Amino acid sequence: MLWQDSFAVGIAEIDEQHQELFAQLEKLMDAAIGDPDHVAMEEIVIFLDQYTKDHFSGEEQRMVESQYPGYQDHKEMHREFIQELAYLKEELQSPSGKHPSLTNLIGFLSEWLIQHILDMDQQMGNYLIRHGMA
């Protein structure tokens, strides 16, 4: 999945982190298709889990500091993504068949990220920039 200029939030640190997330999801999808490489996938998911938590914490801290009114809803969405990642980790470690296929889960995460950036993150970015907190 490739980064596009239209995904920019306007805050360099956040945009760089989003680009890294896209790159990792792309790597994960590559490892999942064809003959899935579970070892490689697990490594990427473990990295993504920590990286995403740090990234979300950074955004949440900016929202708290700027008294962003959409903070609670935004934080709730972050929790949802972390939950989906946990399903993926679970499915990789012991496939239960309860969850959709790995490629579907990764596709969902990628779509989720794009929608989240275009909606909530860009709103947050505009607010931070308007309030001189970028």
Does the protein bind Fe ion through residue 121 (CB under 5 A)? yes
Does the protein bind Fe ion through residue 91 (CB under 5 A)? no
Nearer to Fe ion, 91 or 121 (CB): 121
Nearer to Fe ion, 14 or 102 (CB): 14
Q: Considering only 5-13, 20-28, 56-64, 93-101, which stretch makes contact with Fe ion by CB under 5 A?
A: 56-64
The sign of the dihedral angle between the CA atoms of 82, 78, 14, 33 is positive
CB of 36 to Fe ion, least distance (A): 29
